[in-house]
Structure 1
Amino acid sequence: MDPQWWKHAVIYQVYVRSFADANGDGVGDLNGVRSRLGYLADLGVDAVWLTPFYASPMADGGYDVADYRTVDPLFGDLADAEALIGEAHGHGLRVIVDIVPNHTSSAHPWFQEALRSEPGSEARERYLFRDGRDGGPPNDWESVFGGPAWTQVADGQWYLHLFDPAQPDLNWQHPEVRAEFEDILRFWLDRGVDGIRIDVAHGMVKAPGLPDTGTSDQIGLLTKAELPYFDQDGVHEIYRQWRKILDSYDGMRIGVAEAWVRSAERMARYLRPDELHQSFNFHYAEAQWSAAEFREVVDASLDAVDAVGAASTWVLSNHDMQRHVTRFGGGETGLRRARAATLFTLALPGSTYLYQGEELGLPEVTDLPEEVLADPVWERSGHTDRGRDGCRVPLPWSGDASPFGFGGTPWLPQPDRWADLTVEAQRGEPDSTLELYREALRLRRGIPGDGLVWLESGPDVLAFRRGGFTCAINFGSVPARIESPGRLLLTSTTSDPTADPTVLPPESAAWWTGDIDD
């Protein structure tokens, strides 16, 4: 067992309700995931991250948790979760589960008790209840999902919810809250999970006094400016305690931060030796299709993690953002760029997260009927923001029509045009996106060393070397020549045995080798 496996792992995100449906109700479940573990092992990933499957009213797809130690019947039961963990290990896959500590569901027993209790009561102290100001909310904070971040209850007080009103924020200054989540961590670690992904890891501690921001459109400032309710220094005390718990278990269990912060240096603070092991690199995920922008983000990221002795974590898509095929232009252009960006990303030193379906080249579904939209962002924005459902459409596995082998009638409709993108349609096809991912993941294990040396290249090309391995990506619209790169290993474009292996077509990437073990 590699004691530092997370530093170079490829981790596959399973959005449980959209991955595979075993019982035919149209919603993905834990037994559906179990049925596809062989596919994930064959793909070549090292670990699986499961989105929340706990008891929940599903106001926000399970990120509103009513009981952290119980599996929601929609997804199965605790025995199914335990079986999934064991079977994943049998396939050589590690398992990371999602913990949601910034807020609970409004259906959580604690919050229900708070609503029944008086202002100033111990039950209300577990959350952030406050008196209003001038007939309105206590301050000017805005919800990530749109509208004010405060909702008034019957007795006149207001409670904070940085997301949906069904997701009240916890008060992390309360010792009972801290003790409860330490116990929740141990509950899942005792069941064999290899790590925890921490939802809204940057949000649990708020600035003293809950001061106004003095601005509107606050979420537009996320990753760009300081906000009094995100990335406060007090969160690090929590993670130092959690690290002690993780280190007390055998097998190198890890903590992963979902931390939307304003710089690579702020991100690296979550990765100090006595804190967490990984933090998602959202600045990389937000990079536009540009050689200069990718180079700037990569350099800043590597410099920041080097300063704290950690490894960087790269990600192009997840369940909260538009799929990168669409983000990079959509259609054939977007797919071509996405394939190139994938090869570039997988060649970087550090760990990579893949989002389910990106290995199929799935685009964002931008034309879902309004009546099926389930993301709370749709309602909270007054039907001006369609939300994140477009990247959460259930996967196409096989067949020529929906449900494409997913199970029952999918909870979000699958486009007919996905018939050519199923796993079945792409498996064994040399130029398919699925086979590109499989080959890249196989070869990636032989890339030597952790360092990265940039090579001289034109303004639209990024090229680097790691030992005898070379990667280059051409962001431009004309071919580019790469000087003496070695033997061609893999290219993001369709194979052409007559092509010059030192010439990189527009919007493509390639790998070459002098000594990679392939």
Structure 2
Amino acid sequence: MQENTAQKEPRAWWKEAVIYQIYPRSFMDANGDGIGDLAGITSRLPYLRELGVDVLWLSPIYASPNDDNGYDISDYRAIMEDFGTMADFDALLAAAHRMGLKIVMDLVVNHTSDEHPWFIESRRAKESPYRDYYIWRPGKAGKEPNNWESCFSGSAWQYDAATDEYYLHLFSKKQPDLNWENPKVRDEVYDLMKFWCDKGIDGFRMDVISMISKDQRFPDGPVKPDGYGDFSPYCVSGPRVHEFLQEMNRRVLSHYDLLTVGEAAGVTIEEAKKYARSDGKELGMVFQFEHVGEGNGKGSIIEKWTTGKPEMPKVRAILNKWQRELAGCAWNSLYLDNHDQPRCVSMFGNDSPKWRVRSAKMLATCLHMQKGTPYIYQGEELGMTNTRFHSLADCRDLEEINAWHQYVDEQKRVSPETMLACFNNVARDNARTPMQWDASENAGFTTGTPWLAVNPNYREINAAAETGDPDSVYAYYKKLIALRHTHEIIVYGTFEPLLEDDPAIYAYARHLDGQTLLVACNWTDHEVPCTLFSDRGEGEELISNVKTEKERTLAPYEARAVLYGKAEA
């Protein structure tokens, strides 16, 4: 096995932290209107402190007409009425800081809402001083400026009759893209960032930040099966994105001690090294999407929609590649689910009653012992699962609704039954069902009618039941978090992939200062041979999810992490 001969990794608080993502609409409702709010989050801070996490990342809480659940912002300096007031935010921030918890905000500046004052003025006239805050183009031969398809189905261009031009929206038509080529737009963004930093927040998660720079030629994209063009060659990690982020760093980020993570769909490893460069001139880390995308083996029926599950060897190959190639160059983000992904125990593990708890613990071990900053999405620490959709009426997410209308109603490419099966597997609403606090009505989330139906399994899976159970998924996550805070090797040790051809076991070693940490995880529902630990000799078992493990095998969904050697002084 390799030893740690690399230079010591530069220390940073956000490398040593564990991040907990809160989707405010679904976390805790304090006023009984069926929608989670800031006061609800504040009321649950003791739960999060007890879990042991360090940072709370809040999905957008800004003023918004809520076309895309808050990712369409109409005022960056105000709080969405559903969530409360600025006074409620100030109270949350102060309470979190008193408890030693940091707050990271979601920065959504690729686009605004079409109800933002900038856009209202921009669309008023071509002569408006705000016209160039957005991307306007004349049509071509009575059609859109090019063939690009929106991420939410249909054309990425919306015609506006008032000025006889089209505006670009890579997402919803109510989310017009900002024109980052305009220095006044960048000034506005940096100013609003300073507003929040001066309030005392501790960082930003930057929504689709890899898309802020567009190829100014706006050419047609490669044609996809549905007839639209793919915009990604011209908008993902575009020509000036690193110039813009370095400017952002000089103007804002370098003046505060912040955690910064960029959502970077489509990012390559070479690009990631630029975004999260070790000299600190851009961002601290990025989210990559390969391991949750089509390359993980789950296949596709149409676009992102599938009923398949990822194949562990493909997931392992992707994650190991990122571990290898970012080593010494950039810092990794570790996650399996978030507000845009299905529940990880349902997608990557086994959410059947027999195996849910054990496979949830296995996945957590596999992720949290890797090198990088781990992210926990609300309810993941309970082993919350996907829900079940019986009709389109059960859905709230714009992506699902638009996909249904395009692929079922208009193009008739899939049947309603197939689309629902895909929703049950990968729809974003699976992650957005309300947090399951207890076994009372609506899982203790609200005394009203929840904005999205609670998963019916809340009576069995809930925080009240798990916080008092030493064998629960919650207790296991709490131990994993404590181990990361205790053992430097988990944070800073080098990463060595092991058993890379094994069809069932995801194994690796971490090395630091004379110590080796061995981790082995069985991703299957059957026992498999494993001699990694028996061949190594005596070590300290840091964590395992099976109490009576055999010497030379791993039980179904078993995970073990064993530490060997003593740390050098």
Q: How many Å separate the matches in 2 of 1:468 and 1:379?
A: 49
Corresponding residue for residue 306 of structure 1? 327
Over 3 Å counting, the alpha-carbon distance change for 1:516 and 1:167 in structure 2 is farther
Deviations 1:313-368 (A, max 9, x none): 11100001111122126532565444312101100111011111111111111326
Q: Does 1:465 align with 2:472?
A: no
Deviations 1:36-56 (A, max 9, x none): 111111111110100111110
Q: Which amino acid aligns with 2:529?
A: A
Query: Residue 150 of structure 1: CA displacement?
Result: 0.9
Residue 227 of structure 1 aligns to a residue whose secondary structure is: helix
Q: Does 1:254 align with 2:259?
A: yes
TM-score when normalising by structure 1: 0.91
Over 3 Å counting, the alpha-carbon distance change for 1:405 and 1:103 in structure 2 is closer
- Of the candidates 493, 499, 515, which is equivalent to residue 450 of structure 1? 493
Where do residues 207-222 of structure 1 align in structure 2 (5 Å cutoff)?
Answer: 207-216=215-224
Q: How many Å separate the matches in 2 of 1:322 and 1:390?
A: 5
Residue 151 of structure 1 aligns to a residue whose secondary structure is: strand
Q: Does 1:9 align with 2:17?
A: yes
Contact 1:12/1:48 (8 A) holds in 2? yes
Over 3 Å counting, the alpha-carbon distance change for 1:456 and 1:503 in structure 2 is same
Q: How many Å separate the matches in 1 of 2:341 and 2:332?
A: 20
Contact 2:148/2:228 (8 A) holds in 1? no
Query: Residue 426 of structure 1: CA displacement?
Result: 1.2
Corresponding residue for residue 379 of structure 1? 401
Residue 292 of structure 1 aligns to a residue whose secondary structure is: helix
Q: Does 1:297 align with 2:318?
A: yes
Query: Residue 196 of structure 1: CA displacement?
Result: 0.7
Q: Does 1:204 align with 2:204?
A: no
Over 3 Å counting, the alpha-carbon distance change for 1:179 and 1:48 in structure 2 is same
Corresponding residue for residue 304 of structure 2? none
- Of the candidates 217, 221, 239, which is equivalent to residue 233 of structure 1? 239
Where do residues 261-300 of structure 1 align in structure 2 (5 Å cutoff)?
Answer: 261-272=266-277, 273=279, 274-286=281-293, 287=296, 289-300=310-321
Query: Residue 488 of structure 1: CA displacement?
Result: 2.7
Over 3 Å counting, the alpha-carbon distance change for 1:80 and 1:327 in structure 2 is same
Residue 53 of structure 2 aligns to a residue whose secondary structure is: coil
Q: Does 1:139 align with 2:139?
A: no
The percentage of counterpart residues that share the same residue type is 35
Q: How many Å separate the matches in 2 of 1:168 and 1:280?
A: 23
Corresponding residue for residue 104 of structure 1? 112
Q: CA RMSD in A?
A: 2.5
Contact 2:433/2:455 (8 A) holds in 1? no
Deviations 1:204-240 (A, max 9, x none): 1111211110312599999xx9521222131111111
Where do residues 29-48 of structure 1 align in structure 2 (5 Å cutoff)?
Answer: 29-48=37-56
Over 3 Å counting, the alpha-carbon distance change for 1:392 and 1:220 in structure 2 is farther
Q: How many Å separate the matches in 1 of 2:312 and 2:218?
A: 40
Over 3 Å counting, the alpha-carbon distance change for 1:34 and 1:407 in structure 2 is farther
Moved more, 327-336 or 78-87: 327-336
Contact 1:14/1:356 (8 A) holds in 2? yes
Q: Which amino acid aligns with 2:562?
A: W
Residue 207 of structure 1 aligns to a residue whose secondary structure is: coil
Deviations 1:268-294 (A, max 9, x none): 221122110010132234445545324
Residue 57 of structure 2 aligns to a residue whose secondary structure is: strand
Q: How many Å separate the matches in 2 of 1:217 and 1:164?
A: 21
Q: How many Å separate the matches in 2 of 1:320 and 1:374?
A: 13
Q: Does 1:123 align with 2:130?
A: yes
Q: How many Å separate the matches in 2 of 1:376 and 1:245?
A: 35
Q: How many Å separate the matches in 1 of 2:268 and 2:342?
A: 21
Query: Residue 406 of structure 1: CA displacement?
Result: 4.1
Residue 560 of structure 2 aligns to a residue whose secondary structure is: strand
Deviations 1:10-69 (A, max 9, x none): 101000110011111110111111111111111111101001111100000000000000
- Of the candidates 152, 159, 177, which is equivalent to residue 159 of structure 2? 152
Contact 1:488/1:501 (8 A) holds in 2? no
Contact 1:480/1:506 (8 A) holds in 2? no
Q: How many Å separate the matches in 1 of 2:232 and 2:157?
A: 20
Query: Residue 382 of structure 1: CA displacement?
Result: 3.9
- Of the candidates 162, 171, 180, which is equivalent to residue 188 of structure 2? 180
Residue 345 of structure 2 aligns to a residue whose secondary structure is: helix
Query: Residue 136 of structure 1: CA displacement?
Result: 1.1
Where do residues 478-493 of structure 1 align in structure 2 (5 Å cutoff)?
Answer: 478-481=527-530, 482-484=532-534, 486-493=539-546
Corresponding residue for residue 362 of structure 1? 384
Deviations 1:91-120 (A, max 9, x none): 111111001101000100111112221x35
Q: How many Å separate the matches in 2 of 1:454 and 1:26?
A: 46
Corresponding residue for residue 194 of structure 1? 202
Moved more, 451-460 or 181-190: 451-460
Q: How many Å separate the matches in 1 of 2:436 and 2:227?
A: 33
Moved more, 206-215 or 98-107: 206-215
Q: Does 1:328 align with 2:348?
A: yes
Q: Does 1:506 align with 2:556?
A: yes
Q: How many Å separate the matches in 2 of 1:67 and 1:146?
A: 26
Q: Which amino acid aligns with 1:152?
A: Y
Residue 348 of structure 1 aligns to a residue whose secondary structure is: coil
Contact 2:148/2:229 (8 A) holds in 1? no
Q: Which amino acid aligns with 2:398?
A: P
Q: How many Å separate the matches in 2 of 1:514 and 1:406?
A: 48
Q: How many Å separate the matches in 1 of 2:565 and 2:258?
A: 33
Contact 1:446/1:516 (8 A) holds in 2? no
Q: How many Å separate the matches in 1 of 2:174 and 2:390?
A: 24
Query: Residue 248 of structure 1: CA displacement?
Result: 4.3
Residue 468 of structure 1 aligns to a residue whose secondary structure is: strand
Q: How many Å separate the matches in 1 of 2:141 and 2:287?
A: 40
Over 3 Å counting, the alpha-carbon distance change for 1:400 and 1:277 in structure 2 is same
Query: Residue 3 of structure 1: CA displacement?
Result: 6.4
Q: Does 1:55 align with 2:63?
A: yes
Q: Which amino acid aligns with 2:171?
A: F
Contact 1:105/1:168 (8 A) holds in 2? yes
Query: Residue 441 of structure 1: CA displacement?
Result: 1.2
Query: Residue 468 of structure 1: CA displacement?
Result: 3.4
Moved more, 386-395 or 10-19: 386-395
Over 3 Å counting, the alpha-carbon distance change for 1:71 and 1:218 in structure 2 is farther
Q: How many Å separate the matches in 2 of 1:508 and 1:149?
A: 46
Query: Residue 445 of structure 1: CA displacement?
Result: 2.0
* Number of residue pairs matched by the alignment: 508
Q: How many Å separate the matches in 1 of 2:17 and 2:393?
A: 39
Moved more, 395-404 or 429-438: 395-404
Q: Which amino acid aligns with 1:395?
A: M
Residue 211 of structure 2 aligns to a residue whose secondary structure is: coil
Where do residues 292-441 of structure 1 align in structure 2 (5 Å cutoff)?
Answer: 292-306=313-327, 308=329, 310-328=330-348, 330-332=350-352, 333=355, 336-367=358-389, 369-383=391-405, 384=408, 386=423, 387-441=427-481
Residue 486 of structure 2 aligns to a residue whose secondary structure is: coil
- Of the candidates 33, 36, 39, which is equivalent to residue 28 of structure 1? 36
Q: Which amino acid aligns with 1:445?
A: H
Deviations 1:444-476 (A, max 9, x none): 223324212344576132322222322111234
